[in-house]
A and B are shown apart, each in its own frame.
Chain A
Amino acid sequence: MLEINDLHAGIGDKQILKGISLRVNAGEVHAVMGPNGSGKSTLAQVLAGHPSYQVTKGTVTYNGEDLLSLDAEVRAQNGIFLAFQYPVEIPGVSNAYFLRSAFNEIRKARGQEEVDPLEFLDLVDEKLKLVDMDQAMLSRSVNHGFSGGEKKRNEIFQMAVLSPQLAILDETDSGLDIDALRIVAEGVNKLRTKENATIVVTHYQRLLNYIVPDFVHVLAGGRIVKSGGKELALELEAKGYDWIQTAGAAA
């Protein structure tokens, strides 16, 4: 589904990603771990098409298509979803309106009928339950005045409504207490199918107790310095990132 090949990217003169290669197939869950500043969010933003980052080398194909040539909204319409590490606030725009616009623009791009507000409400009702959120938050402004935890939940709620093919979750666990973490993780698990894939970006192993990855990659200094199965996450937890970074530097 997704094939990243020797990806180099940065901002201005600053090189951040220095040769990332990664292959994600349908049905898989990949965890990308690494210390702060290692480039995890940059990778997520580059895949989603943030205009501030320049790709200087390498390729990314998504369903056989050159992903990097597509505008961010087209990537989204093609099924890529990014749950932001820092979700953006849009004061005055209701969550319901925002999400329905997104839902309908994606449908339109796929040649499907748009849904009216009432149909849409029916549809989101069950998705709300998935992340244990109250209807009332539909009429609140997008992320405006939300607590950190509410913002993260709202990201997963949006993901549930838009049902992407490739979901990238950037530090969705940070700012969540243990109950919220479980709810969010269960939500993500329920959305798993054979057809879609998830990249879970996280600093901590904690989340991976709930969302069990098929593969774990460790990012350090803009490179993947180690890949392995889910047990790699536990090893990292026990030994800390220093162990890997030294190993990476030595490699």
Chain B
Amino acid sequence: MSSAIESLVNREYAYGFVTDVETDTVPAGLDEDIVRLISAKKQEPDFMLQWRLKAYRRWLTMKEPHWGNVQYPAIDYKSLVYYSAPKSVKPLQSLDEVDPELLRTYEKLGISLTEQKWLAGVAVDAIFDSVSVGTTMKDELAKHGVIFCSFGDAVQNHPEIVEKYLGTVVPHSDNFFAALNAAVFSDGSFCYVPKGVKCPMELSTYFRINSANTGQFERTLIIADEGASVSYLEGCTAPKRDTNQLHAAVVELVALDNASIKYSTVQNWYAGDAEGKGGIYNFVTKRGKCAGVNSKISWTQVETGSAITWKYPSVILQGDNSVGEFYSVAVVNKKQQADTGTKMIHIGKNTKSTIVSKGISAGEGSNSYRGLVRVLPKADGARNYTQCDSMLIGNKCGAHTFPYIEVQNETATLEHEASTSKIGEDQIFYCKQRGVSAEHAVSMIVSGFCREVFKELPMEFAVEAQQLLGITLEGSVG
């Protein structure tokens, strides 16, 4: 491997700082009392507590799954802390009340909760450890009837919507990590776009894990009512720590008739050091339901961080003519492991899904694509297109693909394309011969490889993705 490729892929993690804020933390370990304590701290209505307890009891009967192509030491669920909130952010009336230390953290992350994003037309809901610290643009959104707030606020102010949709896409019993999340989740984002409303701006959430030994369990629920549309981006970073941190989030999307939801993720959690020490375990359940006719849900993810990534943003295509999309870039380096992909479940007639997965493996990283396309008996005319490309940088990394197909309707059309390529010395030499540095050459080649995915990212975030990836997008996108 050329030294340029090596130095590019071995860059220092720039977001590894720790923020010093006082936190309100519950004792380590998990039992029913902790679940009740979390619910009480959040002053939740009884339906929430009951739902959490139901999930907790279910979780006790479940086993941690191990079918992923990833290896990690056993997680000690008794030593985890299930709730940690920055003390200074309790009742927040305005941004001025946010701990300046927190705001500085966000600045370091390159996001400002205030004017800049407003100018960019972005509303930001920031999650610091487990509590939402401030939501901008609420008023502007409120004018259009869009509700965009922390999950906690939604439980307080719009309990009827939460109760109606919570768990309808990812049930409390869905899987081990989802059940754990349902029991102990502390906050997250909530968005409801009413009938016929096109959300006037991009919505964004920034997640950051700060405290040591905290599991971060957020829960996001986005509902686009009939004819509504919304585009949402989450970005993630975490400080460098020697120990691994568990991130087990749940995201539920619901699109009703003629509604569309675009959900983009730029994930750059700390990946651990060169020996594989530390880093985030990112075990996330993300699923969208195209509940209505002609609805559309599109996932775009750029996954560059985490020691282990294990996630399959999926779409249930229930409404006739509904559309599901999954565009993914997953980069692994050093000893990172990623097992990611999607599930497209075709239930309605003439449903259509598109999967474009780009895996980049460098160092000793291991990258697996795992995808399921299931066509149920009534899904006449269902169509799927899957494209699955891997790029290898160096000789010690690995790329694997596990495509699963289950078709129960003979009118379905499925297409699958796959490729594996290597960044060649010849490509780099060609660029260098034109005067381009090797480092720039690598970033150019990699972003060219990812182009079909990057062009799906909202414009405002293409730049952010570029910074997080450390690769140049300019000109090679769009």
Contact = CB atoms under 8 A, between A and B. Distances in A.
Interface of A: 48-52, 71-73, 75-77, 81-82, 84, 87-88, 90-94, 96-103, 105-106, 109, 117, 141, 158, 162
Nearest to B2: A51
B427 A90 contact: yes
A96 B435 contact: no
Report the 3 A-B pairs with minimum CB-CB distance, sorted nearest first.
A92-B448, A97-B475, A93-B448
Given A100-B475, A105-B440, A90 B448 contact: yes
Given A102-B435, A105-B440, A97 B476 contact: yes
Contact of B432 (A73, A81, A98, A103): A73
B436 interface: yes
Interface in B363-385: none
Interface in B425-478: 425-427, 429-438, 440, 444-445, 447-452, 474-476
Contact of A72 (B424, B432, B474, B475): B432
A141 B445 CA distance: 11
Contact of A141 (B2, B424, B432, B448): B448
A117 B476 CA distance: 13
Contacts of B427: 88, 90
Given A92-B451, A93-B476, A96-B475, A162 B435 contact: yes
Contact of A82 (B431, B433, B437, B450): B433
Which of A49, A71, A76, A88 has the most CB atoms of chain B within a 10 A radius of its CB?
A88
A162 B434 contact: yes
Given A73-B435, A98-B444, A92 B425 contact: no
A98 B430 CA distance: 11
Contact of A73 (B436, B447, B451): B436
Contact of A91 (B2, B431, B449): B449
Given A93-B476, A101-B444, A141-B448, A87 B435 contact: no
Contacts of B425: 51-52
Contact of B436 (A49, A75, A105): A105
Contact of B429 (A72, A96, A102, A158): A72
A94 B474 CA distance: 10
Contacts of A97: 444, 474-476
A71 B430 contact: no
A90 B444 contact: yes
A101 B429 contact: no
A51 B427 CA distance: 12
A93 B430 contact: no
A93 B435 contact: no
Contact of A109 (B435, B448, B452): B435
A73 B438 contact: yes
A213 to B, nearest CB: 23
Given A50-B429, A97-B476, A100-B475, A92 B436 contact: no
Contact of B476 (A72, A84, A92): A92
Given A94-B475, A97-B474, A117-B475, A73 B437 contact: yes
Given A92-B450, A97-B474, A105 B437 contact: yes
A117 B478 CA distance: 14
B429 to A, nearest CB: 6
Contacts of B440: 101, 105
10 contacts: A51-B2, A51-B425, A76-B434, A90-B445, A91-B448, A92-B448, A92-B451, A94-B475, A97-B475, A102-B436
A48 B425 CA distance: 14
B447 A93 contact: yes
Given A52-B425, A97-B474, A92 B449 contact: yes
Nearest to A52: B425
Given A76-B433, A88-B426, A103-B435, 14 more contacts: A49-B433, A87-B430, A88-B430, A90-B427, A90-B444, A90-B445, A92-B450, A93-B444, A93-B447, A97-B444, A101-B444, A101-B475, A102-B434, A105-B436
A48 B433 contact: yes
B435 A106 contact: yes
A71 B444 contact: no
A161 to B, nearest CB: 10
Which of B429, B447, B450 has the most CB atoms of chain A within a 10 A radius of its CB?
B429
A100 B444 CA distance: 12
Contacts of B452: 92
A98 B444 CA distance: 8
B426 to A, nearest CB: 5
Contacts of B2: 51
B430 A76 contact: no
